[in-house]
Amino acid sequence: MLDLFEMLGTPEPSTEIMADGAVLLRGAALPFEADLLSALTEITEQAPFRHMVTPGGFVMSVAMTNCGTAGWVTDRTGYRYDRNDPRSGRPWPVMPDCFFALAVTTAARAGYPDFRPDACLINRYEPGARLSLHQDRNERDFANPIVSVSLGLPATFQFGGLERTDPVRRYALRHGDVAVWGGPSRLFYHGVPELRDGVHGTVGRMRLNLTFRGAL
């Protein structure tokens, strides 16, 4: 059907319901790719990617940094949100306007018009890196959704249920995809199996994932 978006040459990105409350907006970040990547470079100059240690003593294969009022960190003492980067002792870099605007507009399109993220965790996967099945439950208010933006190499995303042993569905997350997880899906188990080797045209030999949270 020819609608206003097609007439303007800006097709409405497709939306897919993954579960009750979970919406996948294919390609929604593509118009902002250059802005997002240059803002990311400025962030990592102030707060470089690092491999954090889990409370159990394992070094994570995914490298992480943050921007915003608070950042997610893990060390031998546990998982938490911290206003300061423990590596520098200074506040995390300010969340760039293009990050905040993308998170707010995509959350609204997915049915969460009041979402205002205060934290953005940035994950960097190199080939072989993985994130085992987990829940995100360090945030104060689970009424807030989480918005995730995928850039670079494609990944398989595993999405289960409220119990670790629930069956998982698999989705391919590609460059520019935005997913919003809220409502009943907010505490669903999820993970990313080992990233396959490859080279992305603009991002290179890695996958980057931004997750926007209402942490504090």
Q: Which residues bind ligand MD3 (CB under 6 A)?
A: 121, 123, 131, 136, 146, 148, 179, 181, 185-186, 188, 190, 192, 209, 211
CB 98: neighbour CB atoms within 10 A? 16
- Please report how close the Cβ of residue 190 comes to Fe ion at its closest, in angstroms: 6
Q: Which helix (H) or strand (E) holds 99?
A: helix 97-109
Whether residue 136 contacts residue 80, with contact meaning beta carbons closer than 8 Å, is answered with no
Phi, psi of 184 (to 5 degrees): -65, -20
**Residues making contact with Fe ion (CB under 5 A):** 136
Whether residue 117 contacts residue 97, with contact meaning beta carbons closer than 8 Å, is answered with no
Residue nearest ligand MD3 (C-beta atom): 209
- Please report how close the Cβ of residue 62 comes to Fe ion at its closest, in angstroms: 10
Out of ligand MD3, Fe ion, none, what residue 181 binds, judged by CB under 5 to 8 A for its kind, is ligand MD3
Whether residue 109 contacts residue 182, with contact meaning beta carbons closer than 8 Å, is answered with no
- Please report how close the Cβ of residue 131 comes to Fe ion at its closest, in angstroms: 7
**Residue closer to ligand MD3, measured from CB, 3 or 141:** 141
CA distances from 193 to 78, 148, 209 (A): 23, 17, 14
Q: Which helix (H) or strand (E) holds 150?
A: strand 146-152
**Residue closer to ligand MD3, measured from CB, 85 or 136:** 136
Out of ligand MD3, Fe ion, none, what residue 188 binds, judged by CB under 5 to 8 A for its kind, is ligand MD3
- Please report how close the Cβ of residue 70 comes to ligand MD3 at its closest, in angstroms: 14
